[in-house]
Amino acid sequence: MNLALFDLDNTLLAGDSDFQWAQFLIEQRVLDREVYEARNVEFYEQYKAGTLDIHEFLDFQLKPLSRHPRSQLDAWHSDFMQNRILPIITPAARKLVEEHMLAGDLCVIITATNSFVTAPIARALKVTHLIATEPEQNDGEFTGRVSGLPCFREGKIARLESWLDEHNLTWLSFLESWFYSDSLNDLPLLKKVTHPVAVDPDATLKAHAERNGWPIISLR
């Protein structure tokens, strides 16, 4: 059996669901534009530069979830999926996932973006397995805090290995492994697989891929 890992934002998606979710809430007037928009852009720039403080960002990103009932959040997310996300799932991204599924590979989306935002996206891509940052819940409602280790940078490796252990698997369970990502933040996990693939990469990842002979592809 082989393992196929997929980053989500700017990899399988031609955009960033984390950033788009905050912008969606601003446009719905759930969040105050003056207060939140500049901060959202600032965090996104830090992420692209590889300087993001993940805990500071998660405090910003998860707090709004705690201010509204889950039923309302789910209703907003349904609109978000239709208007913001489905248009940025490209045919090439769907084809890549389907190819690995048809080959019998174990397919997993692994993303720093929280599971409330990303679980419906994984379902839209027909990927059963999702490893994401987990927002803390109390009786089905969000507390605004993170649960456990964020799925970010080296944390992706730790979360993946914990997930594999839960499924009675290890790296040695797989003959070959792929990881598709666009971001310099995923270099730790890209270095762990047998087939690292840079997808529409940022400048840092592109340079690293070129130096190391990694494939560079576009799903746009």
Report the C-alpha gap between 132 and 150 in whole angstroms: 8
> What pLDDT is stored for residue 60 in this prediction?
87
| Residue 191 pLDDT > 90 | yes
Instruction: List the 195-199 sheet strands across, edge first.
Output: 141-147, 129-138, 106-114, 3-6, 177-181, 195-199, 216-217
Question: pLDDT of 75-121, one tens digit each?
Answer: 999 999 999 999 999 999 999 999 999 999 999 999 999 999 999 99
> What pLDDT is stored for residue 80 in this prediction?
98
Question: pLDDT of 198-217, one tens digit each?
Answer: 999 999 999 999 999 999 99
Percent of the chain, pLDDT > 70? 100
Report the C-alpha gap between 35 and 56 in whole angstroms: 16
> What pLDDT is stored for residue 40 in this prediction?
86
| Residue 164 pLDDT > 90 | yes
| Residue 125 pLDDT > 90 | yes
**Which tokens belong to 138?**
């109390």
Question: pLDDT of 8-55, one tens digit each?
Answer: 999 999 999 999 999 999 999 988 888 888 888 899 899 989 999 999
Residues in the chain: 220
> What pLDDT is stored for residue 36 in this prediction?
86
Report the C-alpha gap between 62 and 8 in whole angstroms: 19
**Which tokens belong to 11?**
């990899």
Total domains in the fold of the chain = 1
Residue 176: CB partners within 8 Å, gap ≥ 6? 2, 3, 194, 195
Question: Active-site residue numbers?
Answer: 7, 9
- 3-state DSSP assignment of residue 60: helix
Predicted TM-score (pTM) of this structure? 0.96
Q: Residue 80 sits in a domain of what CATH number?
A: 3.40.50.1000
Q: Return the closest-CA partner of residue 112 out of 13, 23, 206.
A: 13
Sign of the C-alpha dihedral computed for residues 112, 113, 118 and 119 taken in this order: positive
Residue 142 backbone zone (phi > 0: left; psi -120 to 50: alpha; other: beta): beta
> What pLDDT is stored for residue 34 in this prediction?
83
**Which tokens belong to 62?**
């998860």
Q: Which domain holds residue 80?
A: 3-217
What is the average pLDDT value for the chain, to the nearest integer? 96
Chain-centroid distance, C-alpha 93: 14
